């Protein structure tokens, strides 16, 4: 059934990129439910909340993470009724039309959301007075900058083993601004780890390294993706300055099951 789910989701790859990545990374641990009726489909991917490090940290009291997709949201009740009766569930949804169906069974709180941006070309080449250096190996001098963005050393080492590339501007031999790219899913590649040293900020360096990374991805026929939490206005402005447009917003809803009286279970 996971293969059927993957084929369904791949029809809108950027819209469903989070679900596709979960299938690729955690397939054996996913409880996949697919309902099809009159040419329409609804999909539920259910994962233990302890499986993904981010969820374990941010939602320690949740029992499960639920991803949804439906070509017709009216089919969702067929799947939502199969969710566990006990424990909180974090719904990660990319379509506001799903919310009324969730609210019928769960009292939920919107916790946060992530915006995914993409582009097919850079409308105006970014002019740089700095040389952007591309690297194919994990560079120890760049680790503090990337780790300041929440990446671990082991995570970075794994990404570079699997083909990640770095883009860095150096001042006086020291990294001033950097980012890296890595494969997210199939031909979609992520631009992550954008970070500029405090002393070098305000000079447009982040835009220059991100533009170089984007140009390289586009030249290889790859789809660039830039994800940012909704509260990071500076990062959103960076994406927009490069001509990226919003592809999808993934909201995290923390839900608690209601019983027939409307009270929490």
Neighbours of 9 (CB within 10 A): 23
Phi, psi of 230 (to 5 degrees): -60, -25
Query: Which residue shows structure tokens 């835009």?
Result: 207
**Structure confidence at residue 53 (pLDDT):** 85
Q: Report the C-alpha gap between 135 and 156 in whole angstroms.
A: 13
pLDDT in tens, the chain (265 residues): 999 999 999 999 999 999 999 999 999 999 999 999 999 999 999 999 999 888 999 999 999 999 999 999 999 999 998 898 888 999 999 999 999 999 999 999 999 999 999 998 876 566 667 899 999 999 999 999 999 998 999 999 999 999 999 999 999 999 999 999 999 999 999 999 999 999 999 999 999 999 999 999 999 999 999 999 999 999 999 999 999 999 999 999 999 998 655 555 5
Total domains in the chain come to: 2
SS3 content of the chain, % helix, strand, coil (to 5): 35, 35, 30
Same domain, 124 and 111: no
**Structure confidence at residue 3 (pLDDT):** 95
The token pair at 250 is: 């993934």
Report long-range pairs for 51-57 (Cβ below 8 Å, ≥24 apart). 51/26, 52/26, 55/90
Q: What's 214's DSSP letter?
A: H
Same domain, 231 and 171: yes
**Structure confidence at residue 99 (pLDDT):** 98
**Structure confidence at residue 121 (pLDDT):** 85
Same domain, 133 and 106: no
Question: What SS3 state is found at 120?
Answer: coil
Chain-centre distance of CA 147, in angstroms?
18
**Structure confidence at residue 84 (pLDDT):** 86
Q: What is the CATH number of the domain that holds 164?
A: 3.40.630.30
Is position 265 within any domain?
no
Q: Report the C-alpha gap between 170 and 149 in whole angstroms.
A: 19
Is position 31 within any domain?
yes
Of 18, 22, 23, 53, the closest CA to residue 154 belongs to 53
**Structure confidence at residue 262 (pLDDT):** 52
Same domain, 138 and 72: no
Structural domain harbouring 211: 120-243
Same domain, 145 and 237: yes
**Structure confidence at residue 124 (pLDDT):** 59
Q: Spell out where the chain has E strands.
A: 31-37, 40-48, 62-70, 88-93, 106-118, 132-135, 165-171, 174-185, 188-196, 223-229, 245-257
Query: Which residue shows structure tokens 């995290």?
Result: 252
Phi, psi of 78 (to 5 degrees): -60, -30
- Quote the pTM value: 0.92
Same domain, 109 and 124: no
Yes or no: say if 177 and 205 are a contact pair by the CB < 8 Å rule.
yes
């Amino acid at each position: 059934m996971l293969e059927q789910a993957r084929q369904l989701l791949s029809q809108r790859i950027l819209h469903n990129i989070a679900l596709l990545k979960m299938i690729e990374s955690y397939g054996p641990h996913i409880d996949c439910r697919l309902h099809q009726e009159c040419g329409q489909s609804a999909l539920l991917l259910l994962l233990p909340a302890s499986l993904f490090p981010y969820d374990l940290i941010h939602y320690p009291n949740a029992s499960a993470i639920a991803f949804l997709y439906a070509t017709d949201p009216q089919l969702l009740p067929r799947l939502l009724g199969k969710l566990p009766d006990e424990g909180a569930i974090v719904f990660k949804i990319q379509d506001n039309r799903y919310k009324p169906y969730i609210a019928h069974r769960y009292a939920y709180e919107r916790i946060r959301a992530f915006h995914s941006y993409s582009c097919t070309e850079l409308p105006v080449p970014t002019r740089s007075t700095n040389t952007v250096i591309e690297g194919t190996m994990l560079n120890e001098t760049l680790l503090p900058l990337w780790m300041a963005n929440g990446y671990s050393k082991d995570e970075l080492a794994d990404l570079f083993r699997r083909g990640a590339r770095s883009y860095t501007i150096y001042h006086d031999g020291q990294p001033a601004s950097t980012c890296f790219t890595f494969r997210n899913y199939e031909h979609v590649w992520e631009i992550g780890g954008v970070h500029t040293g405090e002393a070098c900020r305000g000079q447009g360096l982040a835009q220059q390294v991100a533009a170089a990374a984007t140009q390289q991805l586009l030249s290889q026929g790859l789809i660039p993706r830039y994800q940012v939490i909704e509260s990071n206005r500076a990062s959103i402005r960076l994406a927009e300055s490069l001509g990226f447009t919003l592809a999808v917003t993934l909201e995290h809803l923390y839900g608690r099951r209601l019983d027939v009286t409307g009270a929490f279970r």
